[in-house]
Amino acid sequence: MFFFSFAFPPSLSHFLTFLVVFLCILQIDLASSSTTTRIGNGYKLISIEESPNGGLVGHLQVKQKNNIYGPDIPLLQLYVKHETDNRLRVHITDAEKQRWEVPYNLLPRETPPSSKKTIGRARKDQNTLTSEYAGNELIFTYKSDPFSFSIKRKSNGETLFDTTSDESNPYNNLVFKDQYLEISTKLPKNASLYGLGENTQPHGIKLHPNDPYTLYTTDISAINLNADLYGSHPVYMDLRNNEGKASAHAVLLLNSNGMDVFYRGNSLTYKVIGGIFDLYFFSGPSPLDVVDQYTAFIGRPAAMPYWAFGFHQCRWGYHNLSVVEDVVENYKKAKIPLDVIWNDDDHMDGHKDFTLNPANYPRPKLLAFLEKIHAQGMKYIVIIDPGIGVNKSYGVYQRGLANDVFIKYEGKPFLAQVWPGAVNFPDYLNPKTVEWWGDEIRRFHELVPVDGLWIDMNEVSNFCNGLCTIPEDRICPNGTGPGWICCLDCKNATLTKWDDPPYKINASGIQAPIGYKTIATSAYHYNGVLEYDAHSLYGFSQAIATHKALQGLEGKRPFILTRSTYVGSGHYAAHWTGDNKGTWDDLKYSISTMLNFGLFGVPMVGSDICGFYPAPTEELCNRWIELGAFYPFSRDHANFYSPRQELYQWKSVAESARNALGMRYKLLPYLYTLNYEAHISGAPIARPLFFTFTNETKLYGLSTQFLLGSSLMVSPVLDKDKTKVNALFPPGSWYDMFDMTKVIVSKESHYFELDAPLHVINVHLYQNAIIPMQQGGLISKEARTTPFTLIVTFPLGAKEGEAKGNLFLDNDELPEMKLGNGYSTYVDLYATVSKGTVKVWSDVQESKFALEKGWIVGKVVVLGLEGIGSDLEVNVDGEAANLDAVEVSAANHEYPQKLEDGADKMKNVMVEVKGLELPVGKKFTMSWKMGIKA
């Protein structure tokens, strides 16, 4: 749910449109007018030596003090270390006083040497040591006066990051004050940058010079362009192409304070309002390498249960249980797949967490409903907001008070307002809060056996501003007006430097006060930690506490959906992109945001299908479910004030849903295997095309198509009244997943116009791949029991070729997703065509689990062959298989587009071998000769 920029009455819709446009113009003006103000002459390196725990440690002394944005910190400690072969850390902090850093218990990492221990050590003049510090992949070099540093790639000497100011880049040298930090880097013109979120990027996935990039967790809806939204991810990936060869690296500034990042095209500047510089450089050189190295540091993406890849249905406004029951039944009647039904806060008693409305969601009836859907394999998820209602009769609140779990202001719990009315916010940095939160989740699970939790409003969101008290002369809220209107008695909180810092970040896109509609930034957490510093960590810390609680319930794999995220959130939770709008533009934006979160280590991501508000058109909802069926996280969700938009509400949308979700459910084994790859290597489930085709510069800004894994390309219709789509095809052979006889072949990256009638989405599989599929169904539990089909793709007409794929299977209820526990199986799949012979085979690790489940491969389909085949041989674990029921057939490939070399006259074929019963848990080999020409 949401409170800002949402669900305005129709009379205000034109005003809202004008406001959004005005704010976008204002944002651009603010960014472009933020010219560099010279702030001193930086720092001088006065000492440097080898650190006791490896790396280098040095000291920096300010060269010229000034009071712009406050006094300079006079002495800094510099710590540099190659932490791995491909990760370099540059840590700069106050040498004399401890400063705020992202807590090491939230994001585990190496602890730098204590500045107090190093400051008194005998110092060596910096000129006695080389100014170069090399690791396996990266080189750190520095200049002493004024201090600057650069990071170079060891293999070719390319400069990746350079803080040196010169005439062409006259930005400030290093600035380090209590509430203002600034550092800049040069960038070459051929750099393509991605990341720096969360925001809605109207120009697509590539960062756009002079667009504002502000990082500070904020509850404003995702319809606001180029504004700081729900998450803070101060990381970017830099992709460069030199003479046709691409390389990528990433830079993370691990800092939770608010910041503006100014990207000028040839430079990038961080302006941060607190904390330290804790920079991490990841060497790549491929985009997949970058994400692997990044998630190895911040935490691998969470393992998701199998059912999470099914389709989800939610709505704010399911007023009672009978409505929910009807929704489930209507999906079944319409033959549209559905795995998970959700409740927004409709199930709660007075919007209070961990409660049930006794009239509309009576517990006995809800338990009976859950018993019924659980027996079918369906799941149930509800929302929890962090605000705990201030209510003397509310046990959750009373136990919270008794355990002293709330964020404080002047010794008392900070008072705010969200949906229940007056609330206090739990402090998840407090170990006692984590224990209390876990106990409340346990109590609620005993009341209602939910299958996952949805944590929302955790930026944290507050309907009021400043310091508030509960009014004595009126009921608040009174239930007659919109729930998001502040009804507490409040006064501004601007008395401290924390509430009104000297530098104003571009918060909410309008330089709003940083305590606007959230917790006053002078409030404090456990051990006196200021909200000013910890603000953007709130949702992250809540996700960690929720994950711990769910895992402790029944030892099952948790599923958590969170709105607010920070660096490392993907290790615990999935994410949806927040309150979007039912417009064609929002449909387009959803792709870029989804791809960004793959870079951020949050691969389980999707947008509200058909838009959260207002009502989508029927055509838009058709196109959105076609796209949304291929989001990693696929959920229809609508606003309280919008008309119903379940997929069965329109006959045409139901048909599109059956087509697109029908394919998704066949692809569940592939998606689940991608989930495993994400969990062990960070590889995004949904990826930009340049992740596979890294040297193709035409793809660097492509934001209208994407890949699932390395080989499956989705090319949706994103515009009104269109029945064709102009799709960019990288070089090679691409096979239509809905009709595998159809193939697109391109010698170089080309746009092709594809037919896309209302119920059609174009999905193509690339050559050299093997993907596992099943027969689909209306629920993942059923679909998972059906026989497998292996789709093998070779370059069209290739006389020599090879293809690879894999399949991961496990007990998805277990918390850990790994091999070696007796409850998982991993299959490598291989195929070759060579010297007129086709061969397909498997290699199995941990076969026991798949054999116990009785899974079989019933069909193998091979695409792109020159001939049909003869002399079929199939062996299972070295023994000949019975082929009595096996049928081999072929169909000619069709070419919707004329092939560039005229090869469309060739009669290449798709060969199908069916009637097989190959146990997935046993190694098999299949081969035949292409003896018969088509």
State the catalytic residues.
456, 459, 579
Place of tokens 């790859």: 677
CA distance 851 to 856: 9
Report how far apart, in Å, the C-alpha atoms of 498 and of each of 101, 243, 507, 520, 836 are.
16, 49, 15, 9, 74
Report how far apart, in Å, the C-alpha atoms of 866 and of each of 375, 451, 841, 845 are. Answer: 48, 50, 20, 33
Query: Residue 653: which of 628, 621, 631, 612 has the closest Cα?
Result: 621
Beta bridge partners of 381: 342, 452
* 400, 388 Cβ separation under 8 angstroms: yes
Nearest Cα residue to 416 out of 369, 485, 450, 462: 462
- What SS3 class is residue 328? helix
Side-chain-side CA neighbours of residue 843 (13 Å):
5
Q: Evaluate the CA torsion angle 4, 10, 12, 14 in order and state its sign.
A: positive
| Tokens describing residue 254 | 């691990």
| Crossing angle of the two packed helices 618-628 and 584-599, in degrees rounded to 10 | 20
858's enclosing H/E stretch is strand 856-865
| 119 closest CA partner among 176, 62, 74, 58 | 58
CA 83 to chain centre: 25
- Distances in Å between the Cα of 212 and the Cα atoms of 163, 551, 593 are 21, 39, 16
Where is 550: in which H helix or E strand?
Answer: helix 538-554
Structure tokens at 688: 């930009």
Distance, in Å, from the CA atom of 804 to the CA atom of 767, rounded to the nearest integer, reads 10
Total residues found in the chain within this entry: 934
Q: Report, in angstroms and rounded to the nearest whole number, the Rg of the chain calculated over CA atoms.
A: 28
The type of residue at 556 is K
Within a 10 A sphere around the Cβ of 819, how many other Cβ atoms?
Answer: 16
Kind and range of the H or E run holding 652: helix 651-666
Where helices occur in 732-876 by DSSP H, the ranges are 780-783, 848-853
Q: What distance in Å separates the CA atoms of residue 528 and residue 521, rounded to the nearest whole number?
A: 12
Dihedral sign for Cα 224, 226, 232, 237, please.
positive
Element (H, E) at 373: helix 363-376
- The total of other beta-carbon atoms located within 10 Å of residue 650's CB is 18
Contact by Cβ (8 Å): 421, 389: yes
Q: How many whole angstroms separate alpha carbon 308 and alpha carbon 786? A: 18
Q: What DSSP character marks residue 905? A: G
- Please provide residue 876's backbone torsions phi and psi, each rounded to the nearest 5 degrees: -120, 120
For residue 13, give the 3-state DSSP assignment: helix
Are 577 and 594 a contacting pair, CB within 8 Å? yes
Q: Show the tokens assigned to 712.
A: 């499956």
- Residues 353 and 347: their CA atoms lie apart, in Å, by 10
CA distances to 134, 226, 572 from 603, rounded to whole Å, are 33, 22, 11
Which residues does residue 633 pair with via DSSP β-bridges, in sequence order? none
Tokens of 78: 């510099």
Q: How far is CA 400 from CA 425, 428, 521, in A?
A: 10, 12, 22
